[in-house]
């Protein structure tokens, strides 16, 4: 088993040499990135893989928790699709918290919390996705010069082994069930059932993920879907 894995890695390195350079740079930057986390008041779990420097903006007294074996891709070339900015982790109040589970992968996405954002183990978040649990501004009436004054916020919960496509947006109060799939560019502002596949703006259910195992955090993306029945549309 180990020999076959080694052969696979060697073949991959030979056929795509840019990956070798990418991982060499990752190892060189690891001490600096770890120091940046600690200075920001964040203690990442063991086994983390960080490609480029993430942006960490932690409000004093708030919590940003990063589990083990988490992968953050922040440099432009760290994802074959490219990312337009680093991974951004921001808390906006003392009560805010961001909890990133074990084995989560994030490519250039933004997580911004005034309440709480929970990302379940094994979830993958695509390039430039946005997850924010607040409106950031009051939507009606007189607006304060202080952005969060009067702005509504509500927790976001993302389950295990969820796949969130590139440039998708999860708005306040969203909940995503285990093994669900959020299509690229989708805008979610509510509940997505476990194993559901949603797409569009606003997001609507278009199918079911019948392949991903809830306990399998090594899943990279769902491979099999079936058409959703009409009555299950959101």
pLDDT per residue as tens digits for the range 72-109: 999 877 777 778 899 999 999 999 999 999 999 999 99
Domains of the chain: 2-232 (2.160.10.10)
How many Cβ atoms sit within 10 Å of the Cβ of residue 177?
Answer: 18
DSSP 8-class letter at 89: E
Confidence of residue 27 (pLDDT cuts 50, 70, 90): confident
Whether the predicted pLDDT of 223 surpasses 60: no
Q: Which comes out higher in pLDDT, residue 47 or 148?
A: 47
Q: Take residue 104 and report the two structure tokens written for it.
A: 């989560």
Whether the predicted pLDDT of 54 surpasses 60: yes
Per-residue model confidence (pLDDT) at position 42: 94
Whether the predicted pLDDT of 224 surpasses 50: no
Average pLDDT, stretch 18-37? 79
Give whole-number Cα distances, 3 to 12, 13, 14, 47, 90, in Å.
Answer: 14, 15, 16, 22, 42
Average pLDDT, stretch 114-135? 95
The per-residue DSSP string of 7-50 comes to HHHHHHHHH-THHHHHHHHHHHHHHHHHHHHHHTT--BPTT-EE
Whether the predicted pLDDT of 233 surpasses 50: no
Quote the mean pLDDT of the chain: 84
H and E: helices and strands count for the chain: 2, 21
Whether the predicted pLDDT of 32 surpasses 80: yes
Whether the predicted pLDDT of 157 surpasses 80: yes
Whether the predicted pLDDT of 222 surpasses 50: no
Q: Is the dihedral of CA 30, 35, 41, 46 positive or negative?
A: positive
Confidence of residue 19 (pLDDT cuts 50, 70, 90): low
DSSP 3-state of 99: strand
204-180-102 Cα angle (round to 5): 145
Q: Which comes out higher in pLDDT, residue 222 or 15?
A: 15
Q: What's the CA gap between 125 and 119, in Å, rounded?
A: 10
């Amino acid at each position: 088993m180990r020999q076959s894995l080694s052969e696979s890695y060697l073949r991959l390195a030979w056929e795509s040499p840019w990956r070798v350079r990418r991982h060499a740079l990752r190892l060189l930057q690891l001490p600096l990135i770890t120091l940046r986390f600690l200075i920001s008041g964040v203690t990442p779990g063991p086994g983390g893989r960080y490609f480029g420097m993430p942006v960490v903006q932690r409000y004093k007294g708030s919590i940003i928790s990063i589990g083990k074996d988490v992968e953050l891709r922040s440099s432009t070339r760290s994802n074959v699709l490219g990312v337009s900015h680093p991974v951004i982790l921001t808390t906006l109040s003392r009560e805010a918290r961001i909890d990133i589970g074990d084995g989560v992968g994030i490519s250039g996405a933004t997580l911004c919390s005034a309440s709480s954002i929970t990302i379940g183990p094994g979830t993958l978040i695509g390039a430039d996705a946005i997850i924010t649990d607040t409106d950031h501004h009051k939507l009606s009436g007189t607006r304060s010069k202080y952005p969060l004054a009067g702005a509504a916020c509500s927790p976001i919960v993302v389950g295990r082994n969820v796949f969130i496509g590139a440039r998708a947006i999860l708005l306040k109060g969203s909940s995503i069930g285990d093994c669900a799939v959020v299509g690229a560019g989708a805008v979610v502002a509510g509940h997505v059932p476990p194993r559901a596949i949603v797409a569009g703006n606003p997001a609507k259910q278009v199918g079911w993920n019948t392949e991903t195992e809830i306990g399998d955090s090594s899943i990279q993306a769902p491979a099999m879907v079936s058409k959703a029945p009409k009555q299950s549309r959101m």
